[in-house]
Amino acid sequence: MTENKGPAGEVWLVGAGCGRGLLTREGRETLARAHTVLYDALVPLDGLREINPRAEWLPVGKRSGRHSMDQESINGLLIRKAREGKMVVRLKGGDSFVFGRGGEEALALQAAGISWHVVPGVSSSIAVPEHFGIPVTHRGLARSFTVVTGHTRDGQEEDWQALARLQGTLVFLMGLERLETICRRLILEGKAPDTPASILCGGYTSQEIRLDGTLADLPEKARAQGAFAPAIILVGPVAGLGLRPAREDDPEKILVTGTPVFCGEVARALASVGKTVTELPILELEPLFQNIPEDFDRYGWLVFTSRNGVRLFFRWFRSARQDFRRLGQVRFACIGQGTAEELADQGFQADLMPEVFTAEDLGRLLGETLEAGDRCLLLRAEEGSPDLVRELDRAGRKYRDVPLYRIRTRKILTGAETRLAPQVMIFGSGRGVREFFRRFTLAPETRVLCIGPVTARAAREAGCSQVETAAIHSAAGIRDALEKKGSRP
């Protein structure tokens, strides 16, 4: 659907679906062509993976009660980016027009004379109940279903009397905080207290749970059993059918944690050898592009200590429309093979890489290689290892340490089981280890596989006993370690 064709760029409102495998082909193709993507917190991981790696990524939050940007600001940002002549994607979980405020964005774009398009998504109002085995319609039980928002603007109340009279299925989205009110008002307006009802928490995630009960006892069950958001509340006879779809049994349960990008890289590497991975991303990256110095090309060396640094620098480079000739006299140093491979994907070869992939060894090699007067620009995480700069200081080398990105804790589901027992647990960073053990514990028999020695040290400090390190510090190295081709105790 297109309106008001104009000379500016265009905006696509894309629904990402509500779980793995539910992003449509049209959605994937649109994301692959995007210049700028504004995405919400609840976008499934496979939606984020389809974004053009050279695109500008702009997180705009949007969880119930925790908005990082208000709707008016999002509308303005969409218009501004489109007027820069860009192909802009507004990426949302579920469907843009089902409580996604896509209509408001379309109105703002149309009023500004910006062309807009819609790519429908699979709404959680249907897909999540179906995933748990609950049909929203069923012959003889429910001839209709009604989707209701659990919270409304300016405290506006639903017509509880009208909802209570409906004979079909009621599906409440974003309503967990008002569960007690929902159940009480429906009973008060005539719904039978023993009407079947369910809470479906964390659908399509490794922490999903289903709580069944009735309007009378569901609030108490939610408290006792730890219901958590995102959740769907479903009311009606179909909740009492007792259907439970079969789940595929994975002969080797493998869990990976870290950033969404790292989890995705590991999942793809292991899928190539027929292994299924459960992803638990607990970290996310916040770009700090404002820290990149204007004279970055006046440094003889650019130093990267992770794939993330390479990926983010070149994302900024392209979005800022820099000239690649500015990098003609620059040399590149990388901490390891995975970082060097990412650099090669950007069209550049690493000039320097230590045999042992640690910050200390990289710093030592730079100290031995740089000549008097050489300067290097360190482009890395805000909480980068002090070993790198310690070695540079020891060698008397000139450098500037630039925090290119910040690693922060990702908001994950709460209330689910905290003791996990996978056969294999994969970590990609020491920070990932520490954040994981702030929330979870591991069964002692779990085999722990780490991407590098620093990560392995953090795992041992956290109390893990069966710790191995991939011989090659990359997703492919992790795959090889699981295939018994290369790991170190």
List, in order of start, the domains of the chain with CATH numbers. 10-122 (3.40.1010.10), 126-240 (3.30.950.10), 254-282+411-484 (3.40.50.10090), 286-408 (3.40.50.10090)
- Cα angle at 415 between 411 and 421, to 5 degrees? 95
**Could you read off the pLDDT tens digit of each residue along the chain, which spans 489 residues?**
444 444 579 999 999 998 878 999 999 999 999 999 998 877 877 677 788 877 888 888 755 444 568 899 999 999 999 999 999 999 999 999 999 999 999 999 999 999 999 999 999 999 999 999 999 999 999 999 999 997 766 567 889 999 999 999 999 998 999 999 999 999 999 999 999 999 999 888 767 889 999 999 999 999 998 888 889 999 999 999 999 998 765 556 899 999 888 898 898 899 888 888 888 888 888 899 999 999 999 999 999 998 889 999 999 998 888 999 999 999 999 988 888 989 999 999 999 999 877 889 999 999 999 988 899 999 999 988 899 999 999 999 999 999 999 988 876 554 445 677 889 999 998 999 999 998 888 988 899 999 988 899 999 999 998 899 998 888 888 999 988 754 556
Relative orientation angle of helices 218-225 and 179-188, to the nearest 10 degrees: 170
> Which amino acid belongs to residue 130?
E
Q: Which two tokens stand for residue 198?
A: 């369910």
pLDDT tens-digit map of 399-455: 999 999 998 887 655 444 567 788 999 999 899 999 999 888 898 889 999 998 889
- Residue 87's contacts (CB-CB under 8 Å, 6 or more residues apart) are 9, 10, 12, 33, 34, 35, 36
- Residue 480's contacts (CB-CB under 8 Å, 6 or more residues apart) are 470, 471, 472, 486, 487
Q: 375-381 and 301-304 as β-strands: parallel, antiparallel, unpaired?
A: parallel
pLDDT of residue 373: 86
pLDDT of residue 411: 64
- Residue 154's contacts (CB-CB under 8 Å, 6 or more residues apart) are none
For the sheet containing 10-15, what is the strand order? 56-59, 36-39, 87-92, 10-15, 115-119
For 132, phi then psi, to 5°, come to -90, 0
**Exposed, middle or buried, 216 (CB in 10 Å: 0-12/13-18/19+)?**
middle
Nearest to 150 by CA among 246, 64, 236: 64
Give whole-number Cα distances, 350 to 200, 261, 280, 292, 414, in Å.
Answer: 49, 22, 31, 20, 42
pLDDT of residue 65: 47
Residue 317, SS3 per DSSP: helix
CA dist 288 and 404 (Å) reads: 5
Phi-psi region of 12 (alpha: psi -120 to 50; beta: other; left: phi over 0): beta
Q: Which residue carries 């509340």 as its tokens?
A: 233
Active site residues: 40, 62, 174
- Cβ atoms within 10 Å of 421's Cβ, excluding its own: 14
- Cα angle at 449 between 443 and 453, to 5 degrees? 125
pLDDT of residue 3: 44
Which DSSP letter does residue 474 get?
Answer: S
pLDDT of residue 415: 45
Could you tell me if 49 and 39 are in contact, meaning their C-beta atoms sit under 8 angstroms apart? no
Task: Give 3's Cβ-side CA count (13 Å radius).
Answer: 14
Model pTM? 0.66
Phi-psi region of 94 (alpha: psi -120 to 50; beta: other; left: phi over 0): left
CA dist 395 and 289 (Å) reads: 29
**Exposed, middle or buried, 31 (CB in 10 Å: 0-12/13-18/19+)?**
buried
Phi-psi region of 65 (alpha: psi -120 to 50; beta: other; left: phi over 0): left
Radius of gyration of the chain (CA): 25
Which DSSP letter does residue 298 get?
Answer: G
Phi-psi region of 318 (alpha: psi -120 to 50; beta: other; left: phi over 0): alpha
- Cβ atoms within 10 Å of 352's Cβ, excluding its own: 18
CA dist 390 and 378 (Å) reads: 13
Sign of the C-alpha dihedral computed for residues 214, 219, 225 and 227 taken in this order:
positive
pLDDT tens-digit map of 35-77: 999 988 778 776 777 888 778 888 887 554 445 688 999 999 9
**Exposed, middle or buried, 85 (CB in 10 Å: 0-12/13-18/19+)?**
exposed
- Residue 105's contacts (CB-CB under 8 Å, 6 or more residues apart) are 11, 13, 71, 74, 75, 78, 90, 96, 116
Separate counts of helices (H) and strands (E) for the chain:
16, 23
